[in-house]
Amino acid sequence: MNQPLRLLLVEDSEDDALLVVRELSRNGFTLEHVRVDTQAGLRSALDEGEWDVVITDHNMSGFNSDETLAIVRERDVDLPIIIVSGSIGEDIAVAAMRGGAHDYIMKGNLARLAPAIQRELRDAKTRQAHRQARQAIEHMAFHDALTGLNNRFEFEHQLRRALETTEHGHSHALLYVDLDQFKIINDTCGHVAGDELLRQVATLLKEPIRGADTLARLGGDEFGVLLLDCPPDQARRIGERMLELVRDFRFIWQDKNFNIGASLGMVMLDHPGLTLGDALRQADMACYAAKDKGRNRIQLYLPDDVELRQRHGEMEWVNRINRALETDFFELHHQRIVALNGAHPAECCEFLLRMREPGNSRLILPGTFIPAAERYGLMPAMDRWVVAHCLSHLSSCRAAAPELDKGLAFINLSGATLNDEHFLAFVKDQLEQHGIPAASVCFEITETAAISNLNHALAFIDGVKTLGCRVALDDFGAGLSSFSYLKALHADYLKIDGGFVRDMLDDPMDASIVEAINNIGHVAGLTTIAEFVESEALRARLVEIGVDYAQGYGIHRPEPLPVN
């Protein structure tokens, strides 16, 4: 044994305690042990030291193993407890196991003791890894993984609470910070440099923030600041200080030295009735105007400022999206999802949206146009386009080869579509129009979207499942990741976020998170799918863990739909 076994021995017989110590020493354990024989001694030992295992007799002078179990559980619910006794009956032993004991061994059969302890030490390490993974998931629910700041989910939660207080006379300020020249650094030095820049800027922006305020990374190079009970003059001073810190900052990467700046939009939250979407949109518009006016400045949003309403760049994307919807500039790609452990069907497929305008051979990925679609309420229309064209394609495939098992088709839906009360009727109509069995379609909704719109998500899931469709929770682990929601959200599939899967061979924490999500998913009766599977070694590890399906570049790169 590399590390001494820290043994707390609860035993009123010194001779019996010596037998236990000799048995463990004979089996290779190096011991650091303490013997106690009173409840007070047990409590004192638990308070003063950390232990690997507790071994307790059942019948002792003044107390028994039931009280030992209760006292230990008050201090440490995960500490293994083994009962070693010469007079314990089967009914007492069963009751002890139900009360939290990990094993019971008769004193006449001490040969079982060393193997039992070795097993419990292994199990304790597994429990610790799962506990750390759970804590990491819970932390990630509210924090940005790159910078450690609050994430968008938590920021919007705090912003909603602040908006509610404006009805009682409170006045807050919302700042929207967008870095200037970030893309140049990303393109010149790569994403590793860009990530390091974001981490350093996040540290800078903390300096003027007050204790009750909230600083968050909203995505990309955008940051949000919520200043509670803050008058306009003070909010402007804080914003100016942020701009000053960024302006004076020099980012050094290898042999290159960069100056950066920031543009800042400011909105005063000082009147009732302002919604979360309105506040964020106004701050974004003000920030955009600050960029238009030369960057490195603050722009206060004023309702009657026409300039702030002109979001030229995004509005151009809005026009292009509407044009794509009308003239089929969108196209569908597909990516196979394969079974790892004999799941049925053996192969499924996820449909992915792309844009390609006439005369432009460059494929436009959704990350380019989705933000504008989300901000301007176009996602439900885009989702309907995808559903209609996916089902049309599936119908053509079935007509061409009716004998083939086409597997399951995964179709992504946005959070906005969960709020579309007419969407279920649209799905039902499309299924009937194209003659597609509902059971062959699985709708994907992200974990964050489901929990952010919980009531609508529950209604949507129940509705599509009533039609016969399946439901998958996508990107699980990237958002709130509260396992308790799995009981309420009656999904069929759980897609493990690829950010954990991709690095799990090199990062034990990521591996533990993937294993924990997979195990909990199976307990909840869900079929699990790992995303971002990019190598055969990763695929083999997922097979060992027991994940049901895999998806990623190591399985199949997305490609245009075949012509039927």
Query: How far apart, in whole angstroms, are the C-alpha atoms of residue 101 and residue 66?
Result: 9
Q: What is the pLDDT of residue 228?
A: 95
Q: What is the pLDDT of residue 162?
A: 93
Query: How far apart, in whole angstroms, are the C-alpha atoms of residue 113 and residue 407?
Result: 51
Contact 57, 16 (CB under 8 A): yes
Eight-state DSSP code of residue 491: -
Contact 501, 514 (CB under 8 A): yes
332-352+382-560: which CATH topology? TIM Barrel (3.20.20)
The superfamily (CATH) of domain 5-141 is Response regulator (3.40.50.2300)
- 42 - beta bridge partners? none
Contact 482, 454 (CB under 8 A): no
Query: How far apart, in whole angstroms, are the C-alpha atoms of residue 29 and residue 324?
Result: 71
CA atoms within 13 A on the CB side of 467: 25
Q: What is the pLDDT of residue 308?
A: 58
Query: How far apart, in whole angstroms, are the C-alpha atoms of residue 298 and residue 291?
Result: 9
Low-confidence ranges of the chain (pLDDT < 50): 1, 480
Query: How far apart, in whole angstroms, are the C-alpha atoms of residue 549 and residue 336?
Result: 10
Phi-psi region of 62 (alpha: psi -120 to 50; beta: other; left: phi over 0): left
Domain with CATH 3.40.50.2300 in the chain: 5-141
Q: Is the dihedral of CA 23, 29, 33, 36 positive or negative?
A: negative
Q: What is the pLDDT of residue 403?
A: 58
Domain with CATH 3.30.70.270 in the chain: 152-310
Q: In Å, how far are 306, 329, 353, 363 from 359, measured between CA atoms?
A: 35, 11, 19, 11
> pLDDT tens digit string along 269-321?
988 888 998 899 889 888 888 887 788 889 998 876 655 555 556 667 888 89
Domain with CATH 3.20.20.450 in the chain: 332-352+382-560
152-310: which CATH topology? Alpha-Beta Plaits (3.30.70)
**Vertex 134: Cα angle to 444 and 82 (nearest 5):** 135
